[in-house]
A and B are shown apart, each in its own frame.
Chain A
Amino acid sequence: MRRDIVDTSLAIQAEGLTKRYGNTLAVDGLNLDIPTGQFFGLLGPNGSGKTSTIHMLSTLIRPSQGTARVAGHDVKHAGLQVRAAIGVVFQESALDRTLSVAENLRFAGLLHNLPIAQINERSSELLELFGLKEKRHQPVSELSGGQRRALDIARGVIHRPQILFLDEPTIGLDVPNRRNIWRFIERLRTELNVTVFLTTHYLEEAVDCDKVAFIKQGRIVKIGPPHDLIDSLGAYIIEIEGENLSALIASLSPRLGPCFMDGDKACFRFTGKDIASLVMLQAELGDKVTGMRWRRPNLNDVFLWVNETELWQTRKT
Chain B
Amino acid sequence: MILRPVYAVIEREVLKLFRQRTRLLSAMVRPLIWLLVIGAGFDAMLGRSGNLSYQYFLVPGVLGMSMLFGAMLAALSTVYDKESGVMRMLVIAPFEHYWIVIAKTLSAALAAAIQALLVLVLLFLLGYLKNGVVLPLLIAGIVTTSLVCASMGMLIAAWTRTLDNFAVMMNLVIFPVFFLSGSLYPVQHLPSVLRFVATINPYTYGVDLLKHAILGIEATSFNADFSVPVNIAVLLGFTLLATVIACLRFSRDTAYEPLIHLLARKRSD
Residue of A nearest to B8 (CB): A110
- A98 touches which one: B1, B16, B261, B263 (CB < 8 A)? B16
CB pairs A–B below 8 angstroms (28 shown): A46-B268, A58-B92, A61-B256, A61-B257, A80-B96, A81-B94, A83-B92, A86-B92, A88-B88, A90-B88, A90-B263, A91-B264, A92-B85, A92-B88, A93-B85, A95-B86, A96-B89, A98-B19, A107-B11, A110-B11, A111-B90, A111-B93, A112-B5, A112-B93, A113-B1, A113-B4, A113-B5, A115-B4
Residue of A nearest to B268 (CB): A46
Contact A55 B264 (CB under 8 A): yes
CB contact under 8 A between A60 and B5, given known A83-B92, A96-B12: no
Instruction: List B contacts of A97 (CB < 8 A).
Output: 84
Q: Is B179 an interface residue when CB atoms closer than 8 A count as contact?
A: no
In the complex, A160→B19 CA distance in Å?
31
CB contact under 8 A between A94 and B8, given known A99-B15, A112-B94: no
Interface residues of B in 1-36 (CB under 8 A from A): 1, 4-5, 7-8, 11-12, 15-16, 19
Instruction: List B contacts of A80 (CB < 8 A).
Output: 94-96
- A83 touches which one: B1, B7, B8, B93 (CB < 8 A)? B93
In the complex, A106→B8 CA distance in Å?
8
Contact A111 B8 (CB under 8 A): yes
Given contacts A92-B266, A97-B84, A106-B8, 19 further A-B contacts (CB under 8 A): A46-B268, A51-B264, A55-B260, A55-B264, A60-B92, A61-B256, A62-B257, A83-B92, A92-B263, A92-B264, A92-B267, A94-B89, A95-B85, A98-B19, A111-B5, A111-B93, A113-B4, A113-B5, A113-B94
- B260 touches which one: A61, A103, A108 (CB < 8 A)? A61
Q: Is B174 an interface residue when CB atoms closer than 8 A count as contact?
A: no
Q: Is A10 an interface residue when CB atoms closer than 8 A count as contact?
A: no
Interface residues of A in 28-70 (CB under 8 A from B): 46, 51, 55, 58, 60-62
Instruction: List B contacts of A51 (CB < 8 A).
Output: 264
Q: Is A84 an interface residue when CB atoms closer than 8 A count as contact?
A: yes
Residue of A60, A86, A115 ringed by the most chain B CB atoms within 10 A:
A60
Residue of A nearest to B263 (CB): A92
In the complex, what's the smallest C-beta–C-beta distance from A199 to chain B, in angstroms?
A: 12
In the complex, what's the smallest C-beta–C-beta distance from B76 to chain A, in angstroms?
A: 16
- B89 touches which one: A21, A61, A91, A107 (CB < 8 A)? A107
- Interface residues on chain B, number (Cβ under 8 Å): 32
Q: Is B91 an interface residue when CB atoms closer than 8 A count as contact?
A: yes
Contact B95 A60 (CB under 8 A): no
- Interface residues on chain A, number (Cβ under 8 Å): 35
Interface string of A105-122 (1 = CB under 8 A from B): 011101111110000000
Residue of A nearest to B91 (CB): A60
In the complex, A97→B95 CA distance in Å?
24
Contact B1 A88 (CB under 8 A): no
In the complex, what's the smallest C-beta–C-beta distance from A291 to chain B, in angstroms?
A: 35
In the complex, A235→B151 CA distance in Å?
66
Residue of A nearest to B87 (CB): A94
Q: Is A155 an interface residue when CB atoms closer than 8 A count as contact?
A: yes
In the complex, A114→B94 CA distance in Å?
12
Instruction: List A contacts of B89 (CB < 8 A).
Output: 94-96, 107-108, 111, 155
Interface string of B79-117 (1 = CB under 8 A from A): 000001110111111111000000000000000000000
Residue of A83, A91, A103, A110 ringed by the most chain B CB atoms within 10 A:
A110
Q: Is B164 an interface residue when CB atoms closer than 8 A count as contact?
A: no
Which 8 pairs from chain A and chain B are nearest by CB? A110-B8, A94-B88, A84-B94, A111-B93, A83-B94, A96-B86, A110-B4, A94-B89
Instruction: List A contacts of B95 (CB < 8 A).
Output: 80
Contact B85 A94 (CB under 8 A): yes
In the complex, A62→B253 CA distance in Å?
7
In the complex, what's the smallest C-beta–C-beta distance from A58 to chain B, in angstroms?
A: 7
Instruction: List A contacts of B15 (CB < 8 A).
Output: 99, 103
Instruction: List B contacts of A83 (CB < 8 A).
Output: 92-94
